[in-house]
Structure 1
Amino acid sequence: MKKLLLLFMAIVLAGCGETGSVKERDLEEDVQNLPGDNGNAKKPADRSGAVQKLAAAVNGFAFDLYPLLHESAEGKNLFFSPASIHLALAMTYNGAAGGTKEEMAAVLHADGMETGELNGSYASFLNMAEVKKGKNELKLANSLWLKKGYPFLEPYKKTVRENYGASLHEADFADPQTGEAINRWAEENTKGKIKNMVNRIPPGTVAYLLNAVYFNGKWAFPFNKEQNFEDDFYAGGKNPVTVEYMTNEREYPYFENGQFQAVELPYAGKEFSLAVILPKEGESLEEIVGQLTPEEWERWSQSFAPRRGTVTLPKFQMEYETSLNEPLQRLGMESAFSGLADFSNMVENGGVSIDEVRHKSYVRVDEKGTEAAAATSVAIVESAATDSFHFKADRPFLFLIRENRSGMILFIGELTEPGAK
């Protein structure tokens, strides 16, 4: 059995008319109108040039970040929302200045856009993107949690509120209930799929910027559960595991080359689709990941064409969690995490930096469709002064007890197991 990669959930936003129930012959027409139909796909009327430019920035960011997360996953499951991460960082970016802003712009692929253009594009996208009709639902939410009494600039708060629809909350970060409130917000805005977004609020925290995204889509062509079967799944040379497969035979947008097969599964109403890329026997997933760029993805996606065949997928569910500090710094966003950070457009006189960018996600794929959720948090803390330090004895250490007048060492020890007696 071949390896399977859930590579990309391609969000295709269409018009705002009611979908209702769709007859099968209409769904067959939907396949003909999906992106990649030899250039003959219908273009959604509300995808403005600004939103398309924003989508290109998010996709560029996605294909930069994905290889780094793939590398750190070391063969384990991986699932993330580049849109959620980009949104949270875009809100943070509005508070940056100087070199920090330049670095963030490059990482976010926003260096070709004025800040106002980026914000306006997101305002348009958020206004058009939310869907709760027919069989599909897409919800995006943003929030800004600020330390009560801290000198955040009013223009910054206004920009985030008006362009990103962020709810603003003044909070006492020393109060454990603040962390509970943040976790409730993330859980409520992901239909209970993302829990415990914030485990512990570090000392010196002055802000949290959060995004949450929730998606629930029903297949245009549901799988028949009665046709499910169990078979082996082979992963990276490991022993096979038995999984439950679902199968469907009909016409789908399809594309293949010498390295992989690719199929696109539409959700009801044409607004969304799931693309799956499967390496051919003898081909490695790593080689495909190495080729993946926005330009290559665009070329592949334009090569899809309707073709009848059988699609067999495993049912699966997974959760994923990671800190994005290291990959974002590797992409070039370095000063934002250091004492050199310049967020003077967020806080009067600056003096703050990013402590952590954390991402959590969930996905379930079954006979009916796909449910997915993700949340991203950006924690902002007061920057350490240049002559200060952080000392955290969280690893084995040596200690000495001495008599100070003589300098005589009375005891020497090592702590390697704090719980032992």
Structure 2
Amino acid sequence: MKRKSYLIGFAVLLLFGACDNDVAVKEVNGIPIVEKISFSETEGVANHSLNEFGVSFFDAAVSEFSESDNVVVSPLSASLCVAMLANSADQEMEDAIMRVLGKPSLSVLNTTCNQLMRYLPSDVNGGELLLANSCWVAEGYDPLAAWKESMKKTYYADVYSIDFSKEQEIERINKWCDEKTNGLIPEVDFVFPENTVISLINALYFNGKWDKKFNKDLTDVQPFYGRDRETKVSMMHMTGTLAVSKDDDFTAVELPMGNNRMRLYLPEEGVKVSDLVSRLSYAKIDNLSWEKANVELALPKFRADNSFEVSDIFHKLGLPTTCGLDKLGLYGDMPLAINQQTYTSIDEEGAKAAAVTTTGFATSTGGEFLEKVVLRFDRPFMYAIENSTTGTIIMMGVINNL
């Protein structure tokens, strides 16, 4: 497995299901955006299962790295990417994906993911979340027309013909990624074998502004006591009323960004952040009790990016190492290769994040008394960027060293 001790993310390929009661207010990247989301009972269960999968994926990813590495994944991208694969692969792979995602039917998974795709980028959430999908098919291959139509109308993805053996052709993919991530990920860090048949690519871009910004004049240089070393960092400061949650293992604080949020988890003294990750199930995260407190917050500015082969993560969670792409009309087992890149940064204004996932298949050839809480994130910590309405985890990570 290829490792760089920065961030992990995982990108998204999204699915269709019309939301009959919602009226699209605009299109973003060709996706009709809606201002509200309304899950049926079965879709609500599927959404919950996607969030459970996201935390499991994060735990599995962290366990692949040393306790000194910074690790970040995008559960939103990961869950929607395997949902896309379920709509392209053979029955064995589809069944495995359904088990990993909590056993929804494929049709319910599709309508659930489609609602998320159309709602999460809405202006009602505040900030900016952009999602984009593309399919790159080797010259000489002609996928089934029904699949191509599904990619266009269901996944909002364009299908391109490409010669994977030519470097100038790969530059077309790089240009697409650069555009869809607003320049945060300018090229794919994925080696396409010349015998690549198809690549499914998703790009995600997030830019959220704190509801209450940090005062730049208060930012100073402070030590960060990392897992391996002590460094000097630009430490931001804020004092005010924020939501706080306490547990035996951590104290957490929530920073709102419209209808999105970043939650930061500071382990108690003596608790390693890797142990905190392994003990936090989605059920525990979902049922945390949050109360207002007068918080004195110190939080380091940081930026990190990553390139990471994530195929093994999916295999450990239960997906086959090979599959046929029967729904494209491409039969015979082909190895599943997935690479992900991500970018994350926070400063006084807010948080930015981007992810690109490249999936390739090659032939075998007020006023009340508030408790005062002092939180200094000057040692390893965990964080998550979430949507407040759906609970969707957009990014989740640990910072061990800065």
TM-score by length of structure 2 reads 0.77
Change (3 A) 1:264 1:230: same
Partner residue, 2:65: 73
Residue of structure 2 in register with 1:119 after alignment: 110
Check 1:289–1:373 CA distance in 2 against 1; reply closer, same or farther (3 A cut).
same
- The unaligned stretches of length 5 or more in structure 1 are 1-5, 9-14, 19-43, 385-421
RMSD across aligned positions (CA): 2.6
The structure 2 residue matched to 1:280, chosen from 246, 268, 290, is 268
**For 1:32-51, what aligned pairs fall within 5 Å after superposition?**
46-49=37-40
In structure 1, C-alpha distance between the alignment counterparts of 2:102 and 2:204, rounded to whole Å: 21
Is 1:98–2:91 an aligned residue pair? yes
1:136-147 matches, within 5 Å, as: 136-147=127-138
* Greater percentage in strand: 2
Q: State the AA in 1 paired with 2:324.
A: D
Percent of aligned positions that are identical:
26
TM superposition outliers: structure 1 runs of 4+ over 4 Å: 15-18, 132-135
Q: Which runs of 5+ in 2 are unaligned?
A: 1-6, 10-21, 26-34, 366-402
Q: Which residue of structure 1 lines up, in the alignment, with residue 312 of structure 2?
A: 326
Q: What is the Cα deviation at residue 178 of structure 1? A: 2.2
Please state whether the residue corresponding to 2:164 is helix, strand or coil. Answer: coil
Question: What's the CA shift for 1:353?
Answer: 2.2
The aligned runs of 1:209-228 (5 Å cut-off) are 209-228=200-219
How many residue pairs were aligned? 336
Which residue, out of 334, 345, 348, partners 2:327?
A: 345
- Aligned match of 1:381: 362
Structure 1 CA distance, aligned partners of 2:123 and 2:185? 20
In the alignment, is residue 206 of structure 1 matched against residue 192 of structure 2? no
2:251 alignment counterpart: 261
Render the CA deviation track for 1:155-188: whole Å, top value 9, x for unaligned. Answer: 2222222222111112222222221111111111
Residue of structure 1 equivalent to 2:346: 365
Contact 1:110/1:118, CA 8 A, preserved across alignment:
no
Partner of 1:345, secondary structure, is helix
Out of 237, 252, 259, the residue aligned to residue 247 of structure 1 is 237
Q: Can you list the C-alpha shifts for 1:303-351, whole angstroms capped at 9, x where unaligned?
A: 11222211110010000221011111111112xx33xx23212224x12
One-letter identity of the residue aligned with 2:329: V
Partners of 2:112 and 2:316 in 1: how far apart? Answer: 27
Q: Tell whether the 8 Å contact from 1:255 to 1:262 is kept in structure 2 after alignment.
A: yes
Q: 2:52 maps to which residue?
A: 60
Distance 1:299 1:281, change over 3 A: same
Q: Distance in 2 between matches of 1:197 and 1:55?
A: 29
Shift of residue 278, structure 1, vs aligned partner: 0.5
Is 1:178 the counterpart of 2:166 in the alignment?
A: no
- The corresponding residue for 2:151 is 160
* Counterpart-to-counterpart distance in 2, 1:82 and 1:355: 19
User: Which runs of structure 2 are paired with 1:301-316 in the superposition (5 Å)?
Assistant: 303-316=289-302
Q: Matches of residues 402-417 of structure 1 in structure 2 within 5 Å?
A: none
CA offset digits 1:333-377 (Å, max 9, x no partner): 12xx33xx23212224x1252441011000110000011111111
Larger Rg computed on CA atoms: 1
- 1:105-161 Cα distance to aligned partner (Å, 9 max, x none): 222x152x2222222222222222223579611101111111233142222222222
Partner of residue 286, structure 2: 298
What's the secondary structure of 2:72's corresponding residue? coil
